[in-house]
Chains A and B, each alone.
Chain A
Amino acid sequence: DQQVKQNSPSLSVQEGRISILNCDYTNSMFDYFLWYKKYPAEGPTFLISISSIKDKNEDGRFTVFLNKSAKHLSLHIVPSQPGDSAVYFCAGGLNTGGFKTIFGAGTRLFVKA
């Protein structure tokens, strides 16, 4: 059961434009959502998060939007830079007696110079 879905395996964007990465989830028990960035042969690095009680969180060029009614969140990167090219994982966090994070399959972002 895929509780976190990233339906776009890849996305290509021109440098300077906006990148929008989408994520859908099915488990309404998630109380936190996170985005991680991963380069090849490296572990994921934390990018930005949002509590389920909020609908927007911004950190520099990165903004995450949460639409709970649609069970959808998105990551906006503005402006996109070539160094942003990586795989982005969306994840949902929940407490089931211990904290657990469920990851989506990832979206590979290509930012063209």
Chain B
Amino acid sequence: GAVVSQHPSWVICKSGTSVKIECRSLDFQATTMFWYRQFPKQSLMLMATSNEGSKATYEQGVEKDKFLINHASLTLSTLTVTSAHPEDSSFYICSAATGPYEQYFGPGTRLTVT
């Protein structure tokens, strides 16, 4: 149980285009989902906290107009990277929470912007 999927697992896009990443909890409902970003050999950096039916809470330094988060249902959250640039290339991971600190992570999405 407690499986989280992400789609796509890998995407290459051209600079200036937008990319949408989906995060789904497959066998449970998650009122809260988190979006993280990981650079090579670095920690998971929390980008935003997404609660179903409300606006996402963004961490300091994360541009909310660039990283659009929608949590449309208890099983789906999406992250859209708008007007992507090469510096947005990274590994994006979502997680779904079933309790205060019980997070189940997706497999991640590797974004490469050319």
Contacts and interface: CB of A to CB of B under 8 A. Distances in A.
B93 interface: yes
B43 A89 contact: yes
A98 interface: yes
Contact of A101 (B42, B101, B106): B101
A interface residue count range (under 10 / 10 to 19 / 20 to 34 / 35 or more) = 20 to 34
Interface in A88-106: 89, 93, 95, 98-106
A46 B102 contact: yes
Given A42-B108, A43-B4, A46-B102, A89 B44 contact: yes
Nearest to A38: B105
A49 interface: yes
Interface of A: 4, 9, 32, 34, 36, 41-46, 49, 89, 93, 95, 98-106
Contacts of A105: 41-43
Given A32-B101, A43-B93, A100 B108 contact: no
A30 to B, nearest CB: 10
- Describe A's contact surface by its main secondary structure: strand
Given A103-B36, A103-B44, 14 more contacts: A9-B41, A44-B105, A46-B103, A89-B43, A89-B44, A95-B100, A98-B32, A98-B51, A99-B32, A99-B100, A100-B46, A101-B103, A103-B43, A105-B43
A34 B102 CA distance: 9
Contacts of A32: 100-101
B96 to A, nearest CB: 11
Contacts of B75: none
A102 B108 contact: no
A21 to B, nearest CB: 14
Contact of B101 (A9, A34, A42, A103): A34
A49 B43 contact: no
B95 interface: yes
A93 B49 CA distance: 14
